[in-house]
Amino acid sequence: MKKILILSVLVLGLNFASNAQSILSKVGSAAASAAGYDVSSLTSGILGKLTPALNLTTAQKPTVTNIVKDFLVQKASALATKKTDPAGSQTKVSNLITGLKSKLGTALTVAQLAKFTSLKPSVPSATNVLSQLFY
């Protein structure tokens, strides 16, 4: 009887956790839409440039994709507060960019990370999709 109760609690806990993740994903997507850009298409465009430039392996590609997508969703949330709190928004974005580099450091080799850093455009550009990762 005790085992059935514990198993039931475990199943309910997993169900709640998966629903919470789904809700967080929807909130992040809504924030990205409010910020005016499509996270999926940006992620695809960014990976289209990063994959050949960094020679990403098939093992690295999903990890880098998740890191970039999460960064873009979080950046959209930070930019959503730009009108009400410009300084706070800028600080959040700066912290996110630092965090992005740190997370990519765990997925990329040292040489790939150095190459990634060298891909930074000199100025933000609407035509260079990589600007989203650095500015």
Summarize pLDDT for 77-105 with one digit per residue, the tens. 998 888 898 899 899 999 999 999 999 99
pLDDT digits (tens, 9 = 90+) for 53-80: 999 999 999 999 999 999 999 999 998 8
Phi then psi dihedrals of residue 59, to 5 deg = -75, -35
Of 125, 17, 29, nearest in space to 74 by CA: 29
> pTM to 2 decimals?
0.70
DSSP tag of 65: H
Find out whether 77 and 31 touch, Cβ atoms under 8 Å.
yes
> For the chain, first and last CA: distance in Å?
57
Helix axes 39-54 and 60-79, enclosed angle (nearest 10):
140
